Structure 1
Amino acid sequence: MSVVLSTESVPDQEKVAYWNEVMNKTLVPMSVTPRGTGPFAGRIASHRIGYLQISTVEADAKRVSRTPALIAPSSEALVAVGVQVSGTAIFTQDGRRAEVGEGDLLVYETGRPYTFDYPERFATRVFQLPRRNLSVPDSDIRQITGSPISTSGGVGAMLFLFLSALPSLAGGRPPLLAHRLADNFADLLGTLIIEQTRPDGTDPDTAGGALLSRVREHIDRNLGDPDLSPESIARAHGMSVRYLHRLFEGEETTVCRLVQRRRLEECSRELARRGRTAPTVAAVAHRWGFSSPAHFSRTFRAAYGVSPREWRALHTTRGPGFTAPVRQPAPVAERPEHSGDFRPESV
């Protein structure tokens, strides 16, 4: 369903305040300052396709500012693609300044300050998606913010054609189809970013081995943190949750199962140690990130075939050479990994 808002029926003295409110609610909180002296006129039409929001803005000359104070209350980081339909714009973010003309694409992030200057009446189309749904590193996105992207060839031309058709596909689409369309946009945008930031054709996945090693090291260092999760791991490495899951696509495990397995391994080692004083099972579980002793016992039994107490008894009575049989850990209940929005209980 499309939502259309306009200053047309608003009294002249209230138009600017009304437009500020409209832009804040439809896009992201921002400050709008008109350039002209007469009554301000603006119109915005907005609709959604899955997790993708599409907004078409037509307005008089103005300056738009997204300041740190306006960013602070925001609950989610977004990546935006602007397509200049008519008129021109001057965009500034991360210290870079770009002059955007008709037909140009511009990629920017709402989580960092930026400004748009529109010296004359203009029309632009803005496509916004959650940062977590874009499978490229933060460093690649930041390389292209503040740089206009031509749509005359390459992936820019492909994305421009796709974006031109998307608005007509909005409304009344089944949720699965709408989500797939949004995914197609995210994948094509990711391809464009790679094309723009890696002109030598270097595949970012070739560096995935080193990045994967850093992720594994991070997991090992933070096993005792009960808040260790795909979200916290991705945040610590400047990537989206979706990109984190992609790193593990060629592995024999997932992020959540790796965390669970490594925690169980450390618990099993500690429980098997001989000593005159031994920590309780609950203390061992807590030390390695399990917040619920009951959940730890169930998970441990599923993996090793015995309870934690039985494991300890077997190793302390049969000697250091004894090795109890180990089962594969039970599958972790996960939501679809492409969504990047879950917190499994077993991690």
Structure 2
Amino acid sequence: MSPTTVLSTDEIAPRERGLQWSEWIWRHFGGLQSDLYGDDDFDGHLAASRAGDVILTRLEANRHRVVRTPTMARTSEVPYLKIVAPWQGSAIVHQQSREACARNGAWVIYDTTGAYEIDNPERVDHLIVMVPLTAVQDRKLRIEGLMARPLGASGISRVALETMRNTYLELPNMSEQAARGAGETIKQLVELSLLELAGRETMLTQREALRDRIRSHVQRHLGDPGLCVDSIARTLNCSRRHLYNAFAGEGETIAAYIQRMRLEACIRELRQRAGPERPITEIATSWGFGNPSHFSRLFRGHTGMSPTEFRRGG
């Protein structure tokens, strides 16, 4: 029977749950910052088991975010590929200027040796699978272009999804030898899924390629108050219609994406404690917000707090 680690906020005083959860997330996943979108009410449950050297964790919690900075990635002891596969809720993975959303029936893979951010904007029930990076290095896969891509809809990645889920559910009934074998199967299926994805990536649709170019351009020019659909179209030498088509099905418009990226850049800067504090208006202006009142309204809608409250308690 595979040993299980179980952590729950049920026995923690409500006002202490957020801090305790952040500490658990930091320890269990090898260094991750966590925040709760400014919410006061939180509960979370985490149960983890091993299938050989593959770690499978079921995470049930209120909405929250996790961030792995470049410094955290450099200091990590064990390199993993990490997979988030929701049963309920959604996960939005940001890595290498890309963004991928997973819901029930899909999974997204990302690399713990690089910086990333995961948004869980609603209550979630996720399966998190950590596969040693060495498991997919034998075939010299160029994994950089395969991270933060959605998988699981069909083909071998669908088989991998069902295998990961069933393995987690049945681990309590497995011998240690059987669990190791299940872990090896998961590693093989993940590698095959990435190989299949790599084959498709050689024939990336123009829409996918343009979407990546848009996001990369936005990341480089967030501080430009003139950044908009028209300016992006001129720089990338394409029509507004092509830009809108590239973002079709993403769940937000290009303008909403720009706004969210700007807000998250301000949030990261307001979290920082080192050195003298910059005025909040100066931070907002540096990331392209021209109207302080408009910025404050957007910030409160995104985090549940004013920028000043967030700086004091975030």
TM-score where L is the length of structure 2: 0.60
Q: Deviations over 1:136-179 (max 9, x none)?
A: 55653222211111x33211211122112101332464444332
Q: Deviations over 1:232-254 (max 9, x none)?
A: xxxxxxxxxxxxxxxxxxxxxxx
Distance 1:71 1:200, change over 3 A: closer
The correspondence for 1:122, drawn from 115, 121, 124, is: 124
Equivalent residue runs for 1:1-347 within 5 Å: 1-135=3-137, 140-149=142-151, 151-171=152-172, 173-199=174-200
SS at match of 2:169: helix
The residue that corresponds to 2:254 in the other structure is: none
Distance (whole Å) between structure 1 residues aligned to residue 184 and residue 96 of structure 2: 27
What is the aligned residue count? Answer: 201
Q: Deviations over 1:186-211 (max 9, x none)?
A: 11111100101113999xxxxxxxxx
Supply the RMSD in Å over aligned alpha carbons. 2.1
SS at match of 2:119: strand
- Aligned-pair CA distance for 1:65: 0.3
SS at match of 1:165: helix
Distance (whole Å) between structure 1 residues aligned to residue 39 and residue 202 of structure 2: 50
Distance (whole Å) between structure 2 residues aligned to residue 63 and residue 175 of structure 1: 33
More displaced 10-residue stretch of structure 1: 167-176 or 79-88: 167-176
- Aligned-pair CA distance for 1:70: 1.9
- Aligned-pair CA distance for 1:49: 1.1
Distance (whole Å) between structure 1 residues aligned to residue 200 and residue 194 of structure 2: 10
Alignment gaps of 5+ in structure 2: 204-314
Distance 1:191 1:10, change over 3 A: same
Distance 1:117 1:179, change over 3 A: same
Given that 2:141 and 2:195 are in contact with CA atoms closer than 8 Å, whether structure 1 keeps it comes out as no
**What letter matches 2:136 in structure 1?**
L
Distance 1:201 1:13, change over 3 A: closer
Given that 1:135 and 1:187 are in contact with CA atoms closer than 8 Å, whether structure 2 keeps it comes out as no
Distance (whole Å) between structure 2 residues aligned to residue 48 and residue 57 of structure 1: 15
Distance (whole Å) between structure 2 residues aligned to residue 136 and residue 88 of structure 1: 32
When you count helix as a share of all residues, which structure comes out higher? 2
- Aligned-pair CA distance for 1:19: 0.3
Distance (whole Å) between structure 2 residues aligned to residue 200 and residue 31 of structure 1: 31
Distance (whole Å) between structure 1 residues aligned to residue 175 and residue 103 of structure 2: 35
Distance (whole Å) between structure 1 residues aligned to residue 100 and residue 138 of structure 2: 22
**What letter matches 1:179 in structure 2?**
R
SS at match of 2:185: helix
- Aligned-pair CA distance for 1:122: 1.1
Given that 2:47 and 2:57 are in contact with CA atoms closer than 8 Å, whether structure 1 keeps it comes out as yes
Given that 2:85 and 2:103 are in contact with CA atoms closer than 8 Å, whether structure 1 keeps it comes out as no
Distance (whole Å) between structure 2 residues aligned to residue 89 and residue 138 of structure 1: 28
**What letter matches 2:133 in structure 1?**
R
Alignment gaps of 5+ in structure 1: 203-347
SS at match of 1:20: helix
- Aligned-pair CA distance for 1:128: 0.5
Distance (whole Å) between structure 2 residues aligned to residue 45 and residue 28 of structure 1: 16
Distance (whole Å) between structure 1 residues aligned to residue 82 and residue 120 of structure 2: 18
Distance (whole Å) between structure 2 residues aligned to residue 145 and residue 79 of structure 1: 9
TM-score where L is the length of structure 1: 0.54
- Aligned-pair CA distance for 1:61: 1.1
Distance (whole Å) between structure 2 residues aligned to residue 84 and residue 140 of structure 1: 26
Higher relative contact order at CA 8 Å, sep ≥6: structure 1 or structure 2?
2
Quote the sequence identity (%).
21
Given that 2:157 and 2:189 are in contact with CA atoms closer than 8 Å, whether structure 1 keeps it comes out as no
- Aligned-pair CA distance for 1:101: 2.2
Given that 1:78 and 1:111 are in contact with CA atoms closer than 8 Å, whether structure 2 keeps it comes out as yes
SS at match of 1:76: coil
Given that 1:49 and 1:171 are in contact with CA atoms closer than 8 Å, whether structure 2 keeps it comes out as no
